[in-house]
Amino acid sequence: MRLTVAFAGIMLLVPLLLGCDATTRRPPAISYIPKAEPIPVATPVLDMPRTRNLPTNFPTRPLALPSAPPRRPNCASACVMDALTGRVLYSHNGNQRRQVASTQKLVTALVVLENGNLNKDVLIEPSDTRADPTKLGLRSGQVYNKGELLHALMVRSFNDVALALARDTAGSVPRFIDMMNAKARRMGMYNSRFANPNGLPANQYSTAIDMARCAYYAYRNPSLRSMVCTSTFDFTLANGRHVMLNNTNKLLNKYSWVTGMKTGYTNAAGRCLVSSGGVNGRHAIVVVLGCRPSLIWRESENLLKWALQI
């Protein structure tokens, strides 16, 4: 009799221990959570002093998430990020590793800005001139202002200028590459590996989300922000002749609310664009990678307008 009572008591406890109702013995309810690509939040700006002055046109309010997702972009990968908070609002193959062409010059620029005086002169060496196809035409023995070279790099994307800045900043291009990769890790770009300062085809890669992280940091640098939003730049050659450099980012001249960033193109990477814009204190960063030349501007524009709800 005692064994029967004990057995009955145990049978009553089993459903409770399993999370079931003792009378109905229904299995516990399971909430279904669909699989989704992880959306990381940008890391804090740890390597920037709090007292540093922010750019004048800086976001003051976070973006509101639109009620509906954007139309799927016609490109290999894309990312939309809140320039204030670092929140990823939209990602299309955002963690897909691929070459990003000249958009990685944003990383180059951040390393140059953090490791040298822009007022110093740069003496051009023969190794600086070996970069095709987009070149300013630097010649060995010429002398240029470092800040002027960096400005020209951001506006017109000259590959020989990237080599000169890298070699002058670090003493050698390989050492500069180490600095680029170290900077990328500090910015949380853990899916990126760079092999040159100009984005020409090599054993290197990044992702749409990682390049958005880079832009998030670039957005906080007043010097870089002023360069990437320049539509035309009056550059003085070593012989004293002036040339007007037109920005490769066509969205700058199309909309007043576009705040710049960086273009890129190689056969391996396709057409790439890191763009940004702001309206009423809210700013968005958009990265589009691996796009057809005829579609890059439209796809970037659509994502910017979706994020800014304009």
Closest CA to 217 of 55, 90, 60: 55
Angle 95-290-247 from CA coordinates, rounded to 5°: 115
| Residue partners of 269: CB distance under 8 A and separation at least 6 | 98, 99, 100, 101, 199, 201, 289, 290
Question: What b/e readout covers 108-127, taking b as 16+ CB neighbours within 10 angstroms?
Answer: bbbbbbeebeeeeebebeee
What residues are annotated to the active site?
A: 102, 105, 157
* Gyration radius (Cα) of the chain, Å: 25
Q: Which helix H or strand E contains 93, and what residues bound it?
A: none
What is the phi/psi pair of residue 5, to 5°?
A: -65, -45
Closest CA to 290 of 56, 14, 79: 79
| Residue partners of 199: CB distance under 8 A and separation at least 6 | 99, 100, 101, 102, 103, 104, 105, 264, 266, 269
